[in-house]
Chains A and B, each alone.
Chain A
Amino acid sequence: MAGLIVRRLLQLPLILLVIYTLTLTLAWAIPGNPLENPEGRQPPQEVIDQMKAQYNLDNYWAFYTTYLDNATGLKWMREKFDGTHAIDDQMARDQGLAPRVRYVFDLGPSLHYKDQRVNEIVAISLPVSITLGALAMLIALVVGLGAGVVGAVKPNSFADISTLVIALIGISLPSFVIGTVLLIVFGVWTKVLPVGGWGSLSSFVLPAVTLSLPFAAYIARLTRMGMIESLDADYIRTARAKGVSNMNVLFKHALKNAFLPVLSFLGPATALAMTGSFVVERVFNVPGIGQHFVNGVQNKDLFLIMGVVLIFATMLILFNLAVDVLYRWVDPRIE
């Protein structure tokens, strides 16, 4: 187990480097200039050239290496040990000002949002998305597992068919439709839940439910399939013959095996749910990280694109690792 973790963690930087190189090359090729706004006032050409030079936007390789230097923490370490940080902080204290905030892994400045660093954007929006994603996965697990078990106990019964129909709706309807319907019913007509924003627990409910539906539907189908298969297995018949109660058969014996495919789905699904959904965030006005994937590309904001893609990639790899570890722990036969 320890070997697996060490091996995967050693692979992580290599995978990230490949993703970094591919994404940067593609993002570099997006037409347009990130420093211009087509509808706004234009600064003089010298000013644009000036900014291009400042951010290395005129030189792919300079950008490539400078970004790596900052994002990997190499620059931070250099400056830490040659004393630059200490001198800076002393200067600030002499002026009676708070010392500057520094990031070990510096993801650079946003090109479009002139006051924001990508680290700050991520620090504000990622916790929101993680919370929303966690709640959505929680709902998806409870609802999905429940529906799956109900369906598997009596295949083709009314309960099974109705969960199938609901699951199909959950998978096939886009979230902007489901989200808007929920919003109108619970926010506008009955006014039991807030129409948007982020703050109290009640404001989490509608976006989390909307985000959870496709995952819940998928989990329900996976559980049902797994349950039907394991309920047919010999060890279940043996358990029943021993006189184990129906509940124990279902939840202790059958579900344990049926859960394994769900578990492997959970890794990528959680990473996906926790890195935000542009649509759900927009409909419910949730300040998550999903919007920055779209805004970044629209504004050709290279630093922001690279930042959110690298965060997503890291989370995806780590969640897959976590699931693999859980997998082995739940089912020690797997090596």
Chain B
Amino acid sequence: MFKLLVPVVLLAVVVIVSVVSDRPLPPADFTISNGTDVTTLDIQRASWMQDLRIMRCLFEGLVRHDVFTVGYDPAPAVAQRWEISPDGLVYTFHLRGDARWSNGEAVTAEDFVFSWRRGLLPDTAADYVAFFWMIKGGREFYDWRVNELARFNPKEASADELWERTLAKFNALVGVKALDSRTLRVELEAPVPYFLDIVAFPVFYPVYPPLLRQYERVDPKSGRLKSERGWTKPPRLISNGPFELTVWRFKRDMRMERNPHYWDGANVAIDSIAVPSIEDPNAQVLAFQTGAVDWVANLTVNYRGDIWADKVEFYAEHAAEYEALKARGLDIFEIDRHLPSDPRKNIHAVPSFATYFWNFNCMKTLPDGRANPFRDPRVRRAFAMTVDKRVIVDDIRRLGEPIARGLIPPGSIGGYESPAGLKCLSDAKDERGKLAIAAEARALLAEAGYPDPAEFPPVELLFNKDAGHDLVAQALGKNWQRYLGVPVRLEQKELKVYKDDLKKANYMTSRAGWYGDYGDPTTFLDLLRSDDGNNDRKYDSPEYDALLDAAQAETDPARRLAILSRAERKIMEEDLPMIPLFHYVTMYLFDADKVSGLNPHPRTTQNLFLIDMLGDGKGPDVSRRMGEGAHRPAVAGDDGDTP
């Protein structure tokens, strides 16, 4: 009999040993659901939103965005101040004396040279390597290294010798120099008015060179700098941000604790952040509802439209109060804080730096040789006018997304004026108004040589099969059939096939979207440049290109933005290479009465070191408001040489 118990006893021992050895961690001050786990903390190789969010806690660059200003203004971080030469080409950064790595060592200008060289080297394989090409000699150095590596033959030359030559080449060619350990001089290839915005992006943050040298070796066979993994894990990781990484159990959890060496630690109101890895969207909602998570950073659950409908209902119940608060100019989170406590208000739709649009193929002929009706801007305008964006936003998406009249989300870039855009069906008050707009559109079609819309070539709408794009395509198709009278055909394809068709311009009209990378209109407008790699519409307008070139040459920021605004007006009111449909929103779950420090800016960059848990006795316990800046007194960490 006792022999039969052996398997039972063995299994029980395994369970007991595990329970005893794997104790749960104590709760953290702030717990977030970051979606899936971080792919990398190697900052030069960053690419994903969830990675960038954690990197901004662990590392700090020369400047950072003040996320509570409308312009996301660059604010001092490791650099205490900086000078820009009058021609906009040379930036001199002065590093603060009390910036420290988490092991207590000083952060130096040489650390930045090392890190930016790392970002530029093709060996690192950085997704955002093109950002470093803005620096003088960056592209040339990159191409030189690519060629040298391609030519490298271990029988003829030594890898170490190539590496020595590479370092010399970098120093000779690339405009990044440490004048002394606290002064960094950066020279650009051409003026980049938004360069400080780029420098605030994590790929420009520093890594600790001694740590990296331990993990990076020159491979004698290929000549490449090969990097081994492991340096991003605690306790080995050394970082310079407000927090340090103490636990990272992949796909399980992450824990960040206050970095005792951080220069501005006095202004951080929480001691620890826990990041459990919760992949299932439904599990994220449950974790929030049971209080296990304070903030769900990206709510993707398929019933989020219904949760949002509850919030809309809540606003309707408090309509008078809501309108009054809105009239005071409060941001959406502040408005919620002033309304009565209610679990329905915990969902938040934050407008994003992203636009959902519908492409027109602008080439003369389609790849299969047919004539392309959409080469004529009048045809594209007619189609863009006969779209009811309101139906798509209110009845199909149901996420409170704002209707798009232009390509760039309005209010996302300080000082930039968005064009009014072309009128469309959703501007009409009633059916009669719609028919009037439709008549105008049909007149445009007739002018373009299609007096009888029924003889218009069947309009093909290409989209990939996921995420409800089919419903949007159906709505568009119905609009065009009804108000223009043209025949339509829907083409649903697998994501990879769809992407391939898009790249080869093998379509008539297609679904697309774009997320901006940096705080400048060109992050969107470059998409339409005739020679841009992402110009899937094959839009080719010398006038438009000339406007972008003129903007690039313009040194006055206000005039430059005015030129870019003209460029956007050209594509959104005259040429219409695409129809902007709506701007995406990002959905958050958090209790605004409890959590302060998240901002509702369309750029959706969240600096979690600004979080203050209201009423916990730590920090000022006063909520932060959009538009008044992040309240950073310059006193902390001043070392006496402020100008």
Residues in A lying within 8 Å of B, measured CB to CB? 32, 37-38, 40-44, 46-48, 50-51, 53-54, 91-92, 95-98, 100-101, 109, 112-117, 120-121, 124-125, 127-128, 130-131, 134-135, 137-138, 141-142, 183, 187-188, 191, 194-201, 204, 251-252, 255-256, 259, 263, 266, 270, 282-285, 287, 291, 326, 329-330
Contacts and interface: CB of A to CB of B under 8 A. Distances in A.
Contacts of B278: 196-197, 285
Contact of B11 (A32, A137, A188, A194): A137
B11 A134 contact: yes
B220 to A, nearest CB: 12
A44 B283 contact: no
Nearest to B290: A195
B228 A128 contact: no
B286 A187 contact: yes
Contacts of B40: 113-115
B306 interface: no
Contacts of B277: 285, 287
Contacts, number: 179
B70 to A, nearest CB: 26
A188 B283 CA distance: 11
B4 interface: yes
Interface stretch (B248-256, B264-272, B549-557, B624-632): B248-256
Contact of B3 (A54, A96, A329): A329
A303 B174 CA distance: 37
Given A46-B146, A47-B129, A50-B123, A112 B39 contact: yes
A124 B42 contact: no
B213 A95 contact: yes
A50 B40 CA distance: 18
Nearest to B36: A295
12 contacts: A32-B496, A40-B127, A43-B127, A44-B129, A91-B214, A115-B41, A196-B278, A200-B24, A201-B19, A285-B276, A285-B280, A287-B277
B303 interface: no
Given A137-B11, A285-B280, A131 B24 contact: no
B4 A256 contact: yes
Contact of B226 (A54, A100, A199, A266): A54
B465 interface: no
Contacts of A135: 11, 15
Nearest to A100: B230
B512 to A, nearest CB: 12
Contact of A128 (B123, B129, B252): B252
Residue of A43, A142, A252, A283 with highest tally of chain B CB at under 10 A: A43
Nearest to B18: A131
Interface stretch (B184-192, B231-239, B606-614): B231-239
Contacts of B366: none
A285 B283 contact: yes
A115 B229 contact: yes
B499 A43 contact: no
A287 B251 contact: yes
Residue of A38, A115, A138 with highest tally of chain B CB at under 10 A: A115
Contacts of A38: 495-496, 499
